[in-house]
Amino acid sequence: MTKSTPLFNRLALIGTGLIGSSIARAARAQGAVHEIVATARSAATRRRVAELGLADQVVETNAAAVAGADLVIVCVPVGACGAVAEEIGPHLSRSATVSDVGSVKGAVLRDMAPHLPSGVHFVPAHPVAGTENSGPDAGFAELFVGRWCILTPPENADSAAVERLAAFWRALGANVEAMPAAHHDLVLAITSHLPHLIAYTIVGTADELAEVTRSEVLKFSAGGFRDFTRIAASDPTMWRDVFLTNKDAVLEMLGTFNEDLAKLTRAIRRGDGDALFEHFARTRAIRRGIVQIGQDSSAPDFGRTHPSLPAEPLPRPYAVSEEN
Ligand code: NAP
């Protein structure tokens, strides 16, 4: 990617964990802003952000961070967004753009909008990109490359402000789409929130059986379980907030999921191989579609490297040729 001309003068990041620190790294690498001011809740995180040199200034309070900023991005758990908005509201510059990165959008709109003064452009956003790691050390500049960033502007949003924020995310390498917050929450309930709930359940269930099976669970974890353990290692605060704030959409999807699970359970009980085969063939086609549109790779995931590191060849016994 070539460097862009700065789209904003001063970016204020409130919260500098995985997502906030990745924005800082990417915005700087791409020259998307002139200056970055960052803050975090704890002194320990602020100190680490300063040590890593992620921002031009690291300040102690949210109010100090937003002073003079023309773009403010709130990168804290969804349940904390309302309190942050209340705190920064009186200190925002007139005509600043305020955004967030929360995984749920209806609750963010509801909790933040009432605290933002008129003249400020509020454009919530959700970069659909992440890992199971947290904190400023976990971020990397390439996190958003080729991933989607969904904007959920309120109906009366200023279209120029929305387009400017879209340009910012495109500069960080993301593809951008806009949709109503309620639609976002329904789509993400099935594509992200429910899979996390299932992973949390399965890993918890296996743990309850651990007395009997501990060695087998670990030894044979490559058989699907390992992928669940990675997802189930995601940040507990973030995911608690996601389920509390996207309750209705998750419960709706969970109802449909339970009906489908009951159908598969019945097929297994009745020995209905045709029903099982037809279902698995349909889901295989969905997976292949995801690979085709470039949202994942068909490469085996063992030996995968951090995107910012040069790829290591797979160890010999596991090497898979291009044709496979
Ligand atoms: P993270 O690595 O845990 O960082 C969270 C940041 O928020 C830290 O700087 C933390 O400060 C601060 N914070 C935590 N609780 C706070 C509170 N009550 N008030 C003020 N600040 C608080 O989390 P993250 O993964 O970057 O997630 C941040 C947001 O991005 C969440 O809304 C999440 O839904 C969204 N998101 C996450 C992912 C993902 O895969 N992780 C993907 C897309 C979107 P301290 O370090 O000082 O505690």
216-254 pLDDT per residue, tens:
777 777 667 888 888 999 999 999 999 999 999 999 999
Atom 42 (ligand 1): residue with closest C-alpha?
130
pLDDT score for 293: 80
Whether 235 is in the pocket of ligand 1, judged by its Cβ within 6 Å, is yes
Question: Per DSSP, what are the bridge partners of residue 14?
Answer: 39, 74
What would the pLDDT profile of 249-306 be if each residue is shown by its tens digit? 999 999 999 999 999 999 999 999 999 999 999 999 988 888 888 777 766 544 333 3
pLDDT score for 25: 98
Q: Looking at this protein, which amino acid is placed at residue 298?
A: S
What is residue 142's DSSP assignment?
A: T
Task: Give the global pTM.
Answer: 0.89
- Quick check: 16 and 54 in contact, CB under 8 A? yes
Whether 136 is in the pocket of ligand 1, judged by its Cβ within 6 Å, is no
Whether 77 is in the pocket of ligand 1, judged by its Cβ within 6 Å, is yes
pLDDT score for 221: 72
Percent of the chain at pLDDT > 70 equals: 87
Query: Could you tell me which of 123, 76, 78 has the C-alpha nearest to residue 96?
Result: 123
